[in-house]
Amino acid sequence: MLNRIKSLTKQTLVYGVGTIATRMVTFLLLPVYTNILPNEKYGLAALIFTFLAFMNHIYNYGLDSAFMRFYSHENDKKDKTTILSSAMGMAFVTSLIFSFIIYLGRYPLAGKFLTDPEYHHFFTYAAVILFFDCIARVPFAYLRQERRPMMFMGVRFINVILTLSLNILFVAILKQGVVGIFKSNLIVSFLTAVILFFIMAKKIKFRFSLKIAKMLLLFGIPFVPSGLAVAAMEMWNRVILEKFLGLHEVGTFSAVYKLGIFMLLISTGFYYAWQPFFLKEGKKEESRELFGRIMTYFIVVALGSWVILTAFIQNIASIHIGDIYLVGLKYQAGVKIVPFILLGYVFFGINQVLLPGFYF
């Protein structure tokens, strides 16, 4: 048992580094956004990211989880290829349809979601970003299932470098504001999808099985309500704030919310290693004790981290070089909510430990 827990810990650390790198981009860009953009403009960007968070679950409809579930249980190489190819085909076709619908409805979406149709161009960016992000989900799931964490981490690091560089270029240097944020995201999403396509080119064949597609769909669809619920808990508060207090408060809240990244990294790094781990261990009697032990260790680490972070979060937010603060001074009024955000991510991680019951 100890060796298996050590294996999970090693995988968590490797995936965690890649995940940390990706998530740290938003953290490293916090000084760029909060020292340059007015609270209202950052609030506008936050509302678009809220829309992206919700739509990601609809675009993906649990397809990556369904793919990992059936791919991990299949031993025949030809059948594995068919599952992979079918999942990729489904992702491409459905994402194209969803993005076309968003593009056609960009004016009413802007009027309803952002209260002003003049912001319609942001939904054009959103449609394209969602398309490329979604078709990258299955290749990332494949790398995790095949236990290729270094390849996974390599693609993540490329994503990080591009995101950081392009945001600094468009927002800090060219002063393109919110438009610059979404231009950067669009370019990075496109390039990430291209890189993954070349990695997967030899693995994907022109095989599509309606039977497999139906299995993937039936397994994946139940993940949509839970995914939307998670997105609602994490993101819908921006919409509520905008309705009652305005874009200024949305910007402040969204900026300090980024400080929750420290706990999010622990939960997300664990999840990326945990899912393929418990699928491999399977539904066995001895796995019950193993999973229980893992739950205990996770709670100890997560709560210990929460106590330390809560004690020092104000000092972290106030780190500065000259006049450039980690969190811009006009945003720091919201730092007092961060301990609650961190604790929320602790419970989110505990929820992930309980996933095997739903899968099996």
DSSP string, 94-150: HHHHHHHHHHHTHHHHHHHHSS-GGGTHHHHHHHHHHHHHHHTHHHHHHHHHTT-HH
- Mean pLDDT along residues 304-327: 88
- Mean pLDDT along residues 330-352: 90
Alpha carbons 210 and 221: distance in angstroms, whole number: 16
pLDDT at residue number 311: 92
Alpha carbons 122 and 46: distance in angstroms, whole number: 12
For the chain, give the mean pLDDT.
Answer: 86
Alpha carbons 140 and 205: distance in angstroms, whole number: 17
Range with the poorest average pLDDT among 112-121, 160-169, 215-224, 305-314 = 112-121
pLDDT at residue number 286: 79
pLDDT at residue number 19: 61
40: pLDDT strictly greater than 70 = yes
Distance of CA 200 to the CA centre of its chain: 21
pLDDT at residue number 113: 82
Q: Domain locations in the chain?
A: 2-359
Alpha carbons 321 and 318: distance in angstroms, whole number: 10
- If you average pLDDT over each of 9-18, 72-81, 283-292, 299-308, which comes out highest? 299-308
Give the 3-state secondary structure of residue 203.
Answer: coil
272: pLDDT strictly greater than 80 = no
188, 136 Cβ separation under 8 angstroms: no
pLDDT at residue number 101: 96
* Residue 70, both tokens: 């059936």
309, 343 Cβ separation under 8 angstroms: no
25-35 pLDDT per residue, tens: 777 788 888 88
Quickly list H helices, the chain: 2-28, 30-36, 39-60, 63-72, 77-104, 106-113, 121-135, 137-145, 149-167, 177-200, 210-220, 223-244, 247-257, 261-281, 285-317, 338-353, 355-359
Range with the poorest average pLDDT among 175-184, 239-248, 265-274 = 265-274
Give the long-range contacts of residues 241-245, CB within 8 A, separation 24 or more: 242/43, 242/47, 242/115
Percentage of the chain exceeding pLDDT 70: 94
Distance of CA 283 to the CA centre of its chain: 28
| Global pTM value | 0.79
- DSSP character at residue 322: T
